[in-house]
Amino acid sequence: MRGGRYRLRRLVRHRRRAIAAGLAMTAAALVAAGPQDAEGARGHPAPARPAGSVAASADGSDPGRARGTRPVRTVTAPVRIADGATVGLLHPGDRVDVVAADGRGAVRVVATGARVTEVPDVGATETGALVVLAVPRPTAVRLAGAGTTSRLAVTLR
């Protein structure tokens, strides 16, 4: 009888270790995956969606986004618009398209659907006026590059 009891204790002891190791691995995987949005992890409320935008699904993801892809992170980019009077028409929350025109007459769209986050009250100069836009990081890079080589304009959406 003694041998049977020893085997039972050994089996239970090894099973506890296996379960503990499995739980530790699961916890590490959950921490590594973490929340997709670092701001949301700190208890900040989710930003309000503009009117007419698509609501998120029940799990908080964008229904139009493919499964398994990460959401695009937005950054704020200060942009100098050539026509200062146009900037006077903008308000935070407006959606705009940014168009770049070089000296040869070539025009290209640099950003579409950029959200105006701030319109600094600096006043227009002969080089234009400043507006701050929320855009994805790659678009911010394109805006910065276009701003150095072209005159930028906005169109309201």
In order along its 157 residues, the chain shows pLDDT tens digits of 556 677 767 766 667 666 766 666 666 666 666 655 544 444 445 555 554 444 444 444 455 555 556 677 889 999 999 988 888 899 999 999 999 988 788 889 999 999 999 998 866 567 788 999 999 999 999 998 888 888 999 999 8
* Beta strand extents in the chain (DSSP E only): 74-81, 95-101, 107-118, 129-136, 151-156
The string of DSSP letters for 28-61 reads HHHHHH--S-HHHHTTPPPPPPPTTPPPP-TTSS
List the structure tokens of 153: 């304009």
Looking at residue 133, its pLDDT comes to: 95
CA distance 4 to 84: 88
Looking at residue 75, its pLDDT comes to: 92
The full set of domain ranges for the chain reads 2-41, 74-156
CA distance 152 to 144: 10
Looking at residue 157, its pLDDT comes to: 86
Looking at residue 48, its pLDDT comes to: 55
Write the DSSP symbol of residue 80.
Answer: E
Looking at residue 60, its pLDDT comes to: 47
Looking at residue 59, its pLDDT comes to: 45
98 CB burial (10 A radius; 0-12, 13-18, 19+): buried
CB 152 within 8 A of CB 96: no
Residues paired with 129 in a beta bridge: 81
What is the maximum span of the chain, computed from C-alpha positions, in angstroms?
A: 98
Global confidence as pTM: 0.54
CB neighbours (10 Å) of residue 156? Answer: 11
Question: In which element (H, E) is residue 149 found?
Answer: helix 137-149
